Amino acid sequence: MKEGSEAHNEVSRDAMVALLLKVPFGSGGEFSYSVEPLGLREFNLVEAFLLKNGCQLGDLLDERGGGIVREMGGLGVRVIRLMDRMVLLERLLRRWQDGCGLWVRTRTDDCYPQILLSRLGLSSPPVIYGVGNQDLMQEIGVAISGPRHADAETTSFACHTGEAWAKAGVPLVSGFAKGVDHDATMTALVAGGRACGVVTHGLVSIHKDLALSRFMKENRLLLITPFNPEPGFNKGLLMARNLIIYALSHCAVIAGFGENALRFSNERTRTRASGTWQGAKAQLDRNKKSVLGIPGKFSIPVYLRKAVGNGLMDELVREGAMYLRDDMSSSLIRRLVEGRMVTEIRRDSNFEMLKKLHVPACYGVQGALDFGH
């Protein structure tokens, strides 16, 4: 049996196939390849077809699996061509593992985050790349989100929140982006807490940060991505990243919004609102759909820092978000963890609907939320 980091980084047969089918191997040079990798829907079709015929993804490495997938016609031919990239993949994996200790997990691996499978179903990412303590993937944390360029008050709130969660022993989940995400996460780690960062890029170079390496060696930091770990920043991935952040969390705390969101004044500018605002709005939409039993939709409370209240905040409250009544006191943290957050919401015609939206029974938190005064 393999031990230590070697066993931690071992790639299963299913993971090898998932990588062959999903990873573009870069856009040129040593790891380039001409066949277009499978999209999520195509990948799900292939996986379902194999299961229907008594096979797993890993069986594509054998002759029987290859014979079965040929029955899928054009898509099957493309799968066979993608499977021919094994030599390139092995070289790429050696570079990832030897260079930064990166590991790879797929939906069929036991250590894949069960909460993602439960909440997202077939929308869950087929492949997750990570660096750090992968056991943190099995713990549900609390998400924090905010602008990259924050004012002093927002930064102070983020740092106070990170420290409070660290003392409460609850993992902090964020996008680990510059600004609020980074400040809250680093404060939590320095205070002895744990954190999970869901990043969009640069995972293969993260080992060069000595400060982060320290927290990883102490098993208190996990950085993951469902995207190719090599390319640079891609703004188009932010919403997909936000989905993973929310899905890994009991609830979300919004520290503030960026300048684009604060300039919101009409329907036209709404589409240019900050990623933080868009992420919160998307989760509130999922909350509503989860009540209707729509697959892949889940509900978690979204809380807003009251100090940043404005027209945008009021709109999110109308959609089901809730203002925090006070700062991150120990008693407030206990209520959040137990699922009984005290909030300030007007008792209007939407009150009963909002109350239903925020009973978190579907994700293992006991009790209903305590609304009102």
Same-domain check for residues 28 and 92:
yes
- Per-residue pLDDT, 363: 27
- Per-residue pLDDT, 356: 37
- Per-residue pLDDT, 367: 26
- Per-residue pLDDT, 187: 95
Query: Has residue 236 been placed in a domain?
Result: yes
Query: Has residue 117 been placed in a domain?
Result: no
Same-domain check for residues 84 and 143:
no
- Per-residue pLDDT, 234: 65
- Domain count along the chain: 2
Q: Please check whether residue 309 is in contact with residue 372, taking contact to mean a CB–CB distance below 8 angstroms.
A: no
- φ, ψ of residue 86 to 5 degrees: the values are -55, -45
Q: Does the pTM of the predicted model rise above 0.85?
A: no
Same-domain check for residues 73 and 149:
no
Query: Has residue 373 been placed in a domain?
Result: no
- Per-residue pLDDT, 178: 86
Query: Has residue 119 been placed in a domain?
Result: no
- Per-residue pLDDT, 335: 66
Same-domain check for residues 198 and 56:
no
C-alpha to C-alpha distance for 336 and 253, rounded to whole angstroms = 10
Domain boundary (79, 100, 121) is at 100
Query: Has residue 172 been placed in a domain?
Result: yes
What CATH number does residue 161 fall under?
A: 3.40.50.450
10-residue mean pLDDT profile of the chain (373 residues): values are: 49 90 65 77 93 92 88 92 89 80 87 90 91 90 89 88 88 91 94 93 76 89 88 70 93 79 49 76 90 79 73 82 70 62 34 34 28 25
Same-domain check for residues 164 and 293:
yes
Q: Which domain holds residue 72?
A: 4-100
Same-domain check for residues 11 and 158:
no
C-alpha to C-alpha distance for 27 and 179, rounded to whole angstroms = 30
Same-domain check for residues 341 and 232:
yes
Same-domain check for residues 89 and 167:
no
- Per-residue pLDDT, 97: 78
Same-domain check for residues 45 and 167:
no
Same-domain check for residues 189 and 319:
yes
Same-domain check for residues 94 and 148:
no
C-alpha to C-alpha distance for 177 and 145, rounded to whole angstroms = 9
177 contact partners, CB below 8 Å, separation of at least 6: 148
Query: Has residue 84 been placed in a domain?
Result: yes
Query: Has residue 105 been placed in a domain?
Result: no
Query: Has residue 116 been placed in a domain?
Result: no
